[in-house]
Structure 1
Amino acid sequence: MSLLYTQTIVIVRPGILADEYGNNKPDWAGAARTTVSGVNAQPHGGSAEDTEDKQVTVTGWRLFTPRGMDLDLRETDRVEMAGMTLQVTGKVARWPAPGGGVHHIEADLQEVS
């Protein structure tokens, strides 16, 4: 394993609940949690602040897996790492490997605090 891929994350996948109108909504209280080791996450895209209504800082991150590692990660999931809870933003990129399969994945994450 490369020295770059030493981080551990927890993928948090919500269950589904119906609201009072019958619409499906995420159930974060009953979320499934999957621990994954051997990944790399780096700050990506900088941070932005919004001070109009309240102090909010949004920080971007990018998650990478090593060659040959695919993750069951969806755009509706959250990722916990280093004491932060991050939202997956957009589709998870699964890069194809020559000869088939997945070479690695990349996912954009966002922390809002």
Structure 2
Amino acid sequence: MSGMYAQTVVIVRAPLVADRYGSEQRDWDAATRTEVSGVNVQPASAPAQSTEYITDRQTTATGYRLYTPRGMDLDLQETDRVEYAGMTLEVDGKVGRWPRPGGGVHHVEAELMEVD
């Protein structure tokens, strides 16, 4: 495998549970963790794309992109989180599964967002 796809991430998936009012929410304390090797994670652009939000406190949101190599599908959903390099990243939008001519998945791309 190419050195470009040498990173490992952990996909964190939390079940939906009902709160005391009957609304569903993610239970991150009961989340499952799945380690996936052979992917590429990099800043969303060079330099890294960041946005500062100033309300009651200053926060910075930094974007990353996750890519899989050709032929690798990934069990990643828009409601998951990804742990990488000591960060917890949220999946930002739909996960892109690029089709392979003749059927199947050519590769996967996902936008990730770290919020401090």
The TM-score range, normalised by the shorter chain, is over 0.9
What is the root-mean-square deviation of aligned Cα atoms in Å? 0.9
Q: List gaps (5 residues or longer) in structure 1.
A: none
Would you say how many aligned residue pairs link Structure 1 and Structure 2?
113
Matches within 5 A, 1:1-113: 1-45=1-45, 46-113=49-116
Q: Deviations over 1:56-81 (max 9, x none)?
A: 11000010000000011000000000
Q: List gaps (5 residues or longer) in structure 2.
A: none
Quick one: which amino acid aligns to residue 79 of structure 1? V
Helix, strand or coil for the counterpart of 2:74?
Answer: coil
Using the alignment, how far apart are the partners of 1:20 and 1:12 within structure 2? Answer: 24
Using the alignment, how far apart are the partners of 2:88 and 2:52 within structure 1? Answer: 18
Q: Deviations over 1:39-91 (max 9, x none)?
A: 00111151111234212110000100000000110000000000000000100
Q: Once the two structures are aligned, what percentage of the paired residues are identical?
A: 65
